[in-house]
């Protein structure tokens, strides 16, 4: 203890303790480093701080070593150079919009898009003077015909998270790049494991870390990942000015789950594929919407570009069953909970009225769609649960 410290009161010494930690400690866990205030060594460091420099610590809202470690991991998984964290997947989508789009700009959104993205686009169109148009997700290179001089952003979703169409991502990205239009993809379905969009020409990958990266259905977080320094700075500027931050405790939970993510994703994939094959043969089902099946729209693109599908797929029940009967079926399930999201250990099921979700492209099916997420339960038990619920609700 220094001479000046020994003269201080007990209360001051409680606030300003003097201690030394023995060196040499290592563990597999990333330390949880919380901060609002970041302490600078001197005023010169304060005055030279530059928000554009990822190597400088400025304020806890922007990063601590814990959140910075997670960002580096996520960028590496997707083959990017830069990542930013947001408090939800939708917040990551918002970060892209507010970084890149202003009044008078035009945005193209696939008609099978995640509904909160659609609502966000409609909000920008209604209140912020942004032109928002919806396109057929299977348009491929034909999207070049839709690009206008003021088109600033093209969204992609691969596959559609309810209807499972897999677009021709490289073709859309190439058409956009030829006209200097930024592309952003919701890549949550693949978790960056089964599909790496930056390698296929996409500019920004958006992830809902709420899903497979968390694996516990117990936190919300999003990320934007890019290999482009200028885009990263635009995203970072918007994130800073909107005051977007994340909990480093939540970051530590995602960091804890990442080492097992690939093994979990592959386990979900195996069980989901087995269950989908069984369901496809059932007389109650009129269409199987799983990208690994040849009759799913975009199967050829999926086979070319993806290495797996994870636990998510949809089915269309025969039109002889009313929406009320399908609701009764979903409510009769015991192992499939009713809830949004996916990526955790527990299976989920949710019915959708797809026709009401579309604005331009024709939905070819007349029966009710149910999206299944296959968790980590035994597949045979999930099969038995579905069969029992079908008998109870559909006869």
Asked, for residue 34, whether it belongs to a domain, the answer is no
The CATH number covering residue 266 comes to 3.90.1150.10
Specify the pLDDT at position 330.
98
pLDDT at 21 over 80: yes
Decide if pLDDT at 366 tops 80.
yes
- C-beta separation of 317 from 326 below 8 A: yes
Domain final residue, candidates 220, 236, 255:
255
- 184, part of any domain: yes
pLDDT of residue 361: 65
Shared domain for 233 and 95, answered yes or no, is yes
281 and 162 belong to one structural domain: no
Rounded to two decimals, what is the model's pTM?
0.94
Q: Is residue 137 part of a domain?
A: yes
Q: What pLDDT band is residue 390 in, cutting at 50, 70 and 90? A: very high
Does 8 map to a domain? no
Is residue 316 very low, low, confident or very high in pLDDT (cuts 50, 70, 90)?
Answer: very high
Question: What pLDDT, on a 0 to 100 scale, did the predictor assign at position 156?
Answer: 98
Same structural domain for residues 151 and 114? yes
331 and 218 within one domain: no
CA–CA distance, 57 with 65 (Å, rounded to integer)? 9
What's the rounded Cα separation, in Å, for the pair 1 and 6? Answer: 6
Tokens, residue 322: 């009313």
Domain identity same for 327 and 368? yes
130 and 90, same domain (yes or no): yes
Flag whether pLDDT at 214 surpasses 70: yes
User: Is residue 375 a part of any domain in this protein?
Assistant: yes
Those residues with Cβ within 8 angstroms of residue 347's Cβ, 6 or more apart along the chain or in another chain: 311, 335, 336, 337, 372, 373, 374, 375, 377, 382
Residue 358: the pLDDT is 78
Question: Where in the sequence is the domain holding 192, given as residue range(s)?
Answer: 43-255
Q: Does residue 247 sit in the same domain as residue 332?
A: no
Mean pLDDT of the chain: 95
Please say which residue of 228, 255, 282 terminates a domain.
Answer: 255
Q: Are residues 277 and 198 in the same domain?
A: no
- pLDDT for residue 19 is more than 90: no
**Structure tokens belonging to residue 382:** 């999930």
132 in the same domain as 116: yes
Joined together, the tokens standing for residue 106 give 């035009």
State the average pLDDT over residues 175-204: 98
Same domain, 362 and 379: yes
Q: Which long-range contacts (CB under 8 A, 24 or more apart) does 216-220 make?
A: 216/253, 216/257, 216/344, 216/345, 217/341, 217/343, 217/344, 217/345, 217/346, 218/253, 218/344, 219/250, 219/253, 219/254, 220/87, 220/88, 220/89, 220/250
In this predicted structure, the answer to whether residue 2 has a pLDDT above a threshold of 70 is no
Answer yes or no: do 215 and 268 share one domain: no
Q: What's the CATH number where 59 sits?
A: 3.40.640.10
Does residue 62 form part of some domain? yes
Please give the C-alpha separations between residue 367 and each of 100, 295, 383, in angstroms, as whole numbers: 39, 17, 21
pLDDT in tens, 99-141: 999 999 999 999 999 899 999 999 999 999 999 999 999 999 9
pLDDT average, residue stretch 187-201: 97
Residue 1: is its pLDDT beyond 70?
Answer: no
pLDDT digits (tens, 9 = 90+) for 109-119: 999 998 999 99
- 28 within domain boundaries: no
Q: Is 37 inside a domain boundary?
A: no
Shared-domain flag, residues 117 and 251: yes
List residues bridging with 357 in a β-sheet: none
Q: Over range 287-295, report the average pLDDT.
A: 97
- Bond preceding residue 159 cis, omega within 30 of 0: yes
**Residue 312 pLDDT more than 60?**
yes
Count structural domains, the chain: 2
Question: Percent of the chain scored above 70 by pLDDT?
Answer: 99
- Work out the average pLDDT over 33-50: 93
Among 224, 255, 286, the domain-final residue is 255
């Amino acid at each position: 203890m220094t001479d000046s410290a020994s003269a201080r009161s007990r209360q001051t010494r409680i606030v300003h303790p003097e201690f030394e930690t023995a060196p040499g400690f290592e563990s597999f866990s990333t330390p949880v480093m919380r901060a609002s205030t970041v302490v600078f060594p001197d005023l010169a460091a304060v005055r030279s701080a530059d928000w554009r420099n990822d190597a400088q610590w400025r304020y806890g809202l922007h990063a601590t070593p814990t959140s910075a470690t997670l960002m580096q991991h996520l960028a590496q998984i997707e083959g990017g150079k830069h990542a930013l964290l947001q408090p939800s997947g939708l917040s990551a989508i918002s970060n892209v919009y507010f970084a890149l789009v202003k009044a008078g700009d035009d945005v193209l959104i696939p008609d099978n898009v995640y509904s909160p993205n659609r609502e966000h686009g409609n909000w920008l169109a209604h209140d912020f003077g942004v032109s928002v148009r919806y396109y057929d997700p299977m348009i491929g290179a034909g999207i070049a015909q839709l690009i206008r001089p003021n088109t600033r952003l093209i969204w992609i979703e691969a596959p559609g998270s309810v209807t499972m169409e897999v677009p021709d991502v490289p073709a859309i990205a190439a058409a956009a790049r030829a006209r200097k239009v930024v592309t952003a993809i919701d890549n949550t379905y693949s978790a960056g494991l089964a599909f790496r969009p930056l390698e296929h020409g996409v500019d920004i990958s958006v992830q809902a870390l709420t899903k497979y990266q968390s694996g516990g259905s117990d936190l919300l977080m999003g990320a934007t990942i890019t290999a482009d320094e200028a885009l990263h700075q635009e995203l970072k500027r918007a994130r800073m000015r909107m005051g977007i931050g994340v909990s480093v405790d939540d970051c530590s939970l995602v960091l804890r789950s990442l080492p097992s993510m690939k093994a979990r994703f592959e386990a979900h994939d195996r069980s989901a594929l087995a269950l989908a094959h069984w369901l496809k043969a059932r007389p109650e089902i009129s269409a199987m919407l799983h990208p690994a099946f040849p009759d799913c729209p975009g199967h050829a693109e999926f086979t070319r570009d993806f290495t797996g599908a994870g636990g998510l797929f949809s089915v269309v029940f025969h039109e002889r069953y009313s929406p009320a009967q399908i609701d009764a079926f979903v409510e009769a399930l015991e192992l499939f909970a009713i809830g949004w999201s996916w990526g955790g250990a527990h299976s989920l099921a949710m019915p959708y009225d797809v026709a009401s979700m579309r604005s331009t492209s024709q939905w070819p099916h007349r029966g009710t769609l149910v999206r299944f997420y296959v968790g980590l339960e035994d597949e045979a038990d999930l099969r038995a649960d579905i069969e029992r619920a079908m008998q109870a609700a559909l006869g």
